[in-house]
Chains A and B, each alone.
Chain A
């Protein structure tokens, strides 16, 4: 049995992996960056791409080498060496991926905590979604609302409170890298600090019916002054029908229970008071 040319194989893997990662890092995969979270997520992706390139290169080099070296000549009917395994090698290739994924997991956790950290001066913005339109409420500005157009000041954190009126929708601005589903019955939350002035688009990414592909809204990131001017121009308050948030869904539920008078429940009086207290 010949000894494997370990050095050559390792060098080939390193060379191929390096070429691959360079080629893979040249395109700007995620596109333009428009929030403080974007560079962090992009860096995480780049690290993952580099590691993946070397792993993929290793698989390709091993496969290619085996095919060149041990492909049979026509007419050779003999068998290969009866090697059943190698415990040391098997432990190595169990441990290396384990360390890599745990490392990437830890790194991801750090990034996640970072991008979801909340600022004290964050602005709350309510987002209402329904087939197939987006509307936005500004509770800090007298609950004024805007249809189909979201304005946010640059360099100030926005906490979007996401609501859905009918089915699931999903709030995504690709340049911000942040996405969260709008779920009927509960209010979900997305934290973004836009850091680049410009026009973007909200893309609905949860299938919501025949108009799903066209469910878009304009996003304008602008200076604090421009934002203040724009928000002053809004005249109407968020209509009552849109305010169907988690609280109200809960209230509906409790009223329904109260009306039915404790079906199947023990210790619930006719007014349903216990029910309310328990929940």
Chain B
């Protein structure tokens, strides 16, 4: 036992958590006693003796778990434990609950953890739909309802969509570029462990006096600066989730820039790599803004600073500017990795090179640049200065151009292909094209100021964001999980159950979110626990389909869990793909490659006999036939 406490792990983690909490608690009450203040400050927004331990306890936990051991030893001049990769690989399930520096273990940890939060976020959504099935108040009180949609959004955004993409890329991307691991394995592990911490903080806000944070995921001041204690849980949880995002993005950038296999120049990178590079550029530039905004709210709340206190010279609108400067790019952070996944899947299952590969990559970069210039379209009716509206409208609508390029190029990839639709991954990728087009079109409508003035903050917005984030991001997440499931687990999932899940999800998505456009345009505001009875029928309809959508996800979880354990062996390359991750065993060896592969061509050379993307270790170039130059252009 004494040994176990000294070793990094859960025992030391538990003790670290307690010590961290105690340190924060006594620091606050000690300082307050010294200054002659009341020991406990329990005004609605205060509670420093809870807020500060909420920050220090996670650091204690991370220290206990062993996140900082190497760095502390190094900083203190002690001999570090040699980096022998003993933290690599996972041989039993307990290994997934350790501070592990293997990118494949971390990828799996990410995906499983985020799927757990997807389940929680979904349950919160179903509680809302149960309340909204009929006008009037039946199940939850209005302030509880506000807490439900706020936590639903926050969990889905910060603990599901953003990190699940980071998890998939964590697993696949180093393999794809022929790297043995990520550039900073220890930072990578730390990024993962920040996530469950954020999740626990968000969910435990339900236990705070006054209930969970209920000012929406947008947390607009001054509603948030005056809200009960739960709001501080949001302010702090976002810091951990955001730090996780930023660290991962830096890690991806350095990995992609410095660790590509020899021969992989920028134009030979798979589009998934391009997509994650673009996403990471957004994360490192934008995420600090939401961290800043939430710190400012926290300081307003706990220390009585007046960033957003209008009676003391604070500026209410500046919160929205800072918030959306992150939160609009965040929409692309939640979409670009999906674009990458869809490109890989469509090319592989249509047996054709991605149509217009270079323009596809440039479109990603175009979206990155433009997305920094459109934040204020969330504020057309917010009362900001009028002149900013038209320029922002133009940049907003321009984003439809690179997005359209992507849609058309995927369609072009299908033309003259050999399209296989037996894989659930391909089905989700194809359905994504159609549903995401709807979300894109309603996005252009929202960019048009006069239409936005009418439908802003109505159910039309709810419909749009769910067509983009569910019909868009979540479809690509499912596609990605199905596609790389054989690689990650070495086993094949059940395609029949996959089809049930696919059709249930498509029908559920359309049935739930299409009618929301109509009732929103007709006058139903969003974020309401109750509504005018004229919308009762449609809301019942929506709730029924929401429950179909929710329950069919159980098929997905069943399929994944059972197939992971008992599925038939998958083989190394079940989809006959060209990219490097499929050229190693399933699951890949602990150190990915015995010898770093050499990249000799583009990633999607389907249909060119003898063309290769990479030469794996063990092969000599003499084995490789010269590819014939057989570029064919479509008839014009």
Contact = CB atoms under 8 A, between A and B. Distances in A.
Interface of A: 1, 3-4, 27, 29-31, 37, 40-41, 44-45, 48, 52, 55-56, 59-60, 62-63, 66-67, 70-72, 76-86, 88-90, 93-94, 97-98, 101-102, 104-105, 108-109, 111-112, 115, 162, 166-168, 170, 172, 174, 177-186, 188, 203-214, 249, 252-253, 256-257
A58 to B, nearest CB: 9
Nearest to B436: A59
B312 interface: yes
B383 A183 contact: yes
Nearest to A56: B437
A181 B404 CA distance: 33
Contacts of B457: 170, 172, 179, 205-206
Interface string B503-542: 0000000000000001001110111111100000000000
Q: Lowest 6 A-B CB distances belong to which pairs? A: A185-B310, A174-B523, A80-B417, A82-B607, A188-B383, A213-B528
Contact of A70 (B310, B418, B450, B632): B418
Interface in B345-397: 350-353, 355-359, 381-383, 389-390, 393-394, 397
B479 to A, nearest CB: 15
Nearest to A250: B313
Contacts, number: 281
A37 B51 CA distance: 49
Q: Which of B383, B394, B419, B529 has the most CB of A within 10 A?
A: B383
Nearest to B390: A109
A70 B351 CA distance: 11
Contacts of B450: 37, 40-41, 44, 108, 111-112, 115, 177
A38 to B, nearest CB: 9
Contact of B418 (A72, A89, A213): A72
Interface stretch (B11-19, B40-48, B139-147, B483-491): B139-147
A88 B223 CA distance: 53
Contacts of B552: none
Interface string B308-324: 00111111110000000
A184 B222 contact: yes
B258 interface: no
10 contacts: A31-B523, A55-B441, A63-B434, A70-B419, A71-B421, A97-B400, A108-B393, A174-B523, A181-B382, A185-B316
B454 A41 contact: yes
Given A213-B142, A214-B530, A256-B312, A80 B606 contact: yes
B382 A183 contact: yes
A184 B450 CA distance: 24
B353 A83 contact: yes
Interface of B: 141-143, 146, 214-216, 220, 222-223, 226, 310-317, 350-353, 355-359, 381-383, 389-390, 393-394, 397-398, 400-401, 404-405, 407-409, 411-412, 414-421, 430, 433-434, 437-438, 441, 444-445, 448-451, 453-454, 456-458, 518, 521-523, 525-531, 576, 605-608, 611, 630-636
Given A80-B606, A167-B222, A86 B633 contact: yes
B146 A29 contact: no
A79 B451 contact: no
A59 to B, nearest CB: 5
A67 B220 contact: no
Contacts of B390: 109, 112
B223 A97 contact: no
* Max count, chain B CB within 10 A of own CB: residue among A89, A98, A212, A257: A212
B222 A168 contact: yes
A66 B522 contact: no
B414 A67 contact: yes
A94 B383 CA distance: 34
A62 B419 CA distance: 14
A98 B393 CA distance: 14
A39 to B, nearest CB: 12
A170 B223 CA distance: 13
B418 A203 contact: no
A145 to B, nearest CB: 22
Nearest to A209: B223
A173 B582 CA distance: 57
Contacts of B458: 205
Contact of A210 (B143, B400, B421, B531): B143
Nearest to A208: B223
A20 to B, nearest CB: 11
B323 to A, nearest CB: 13
Nearest to B225: A167
A245 to B, nearest CB: 11
Nearest to A6: B635
Contacts of B393: 105, 108-109
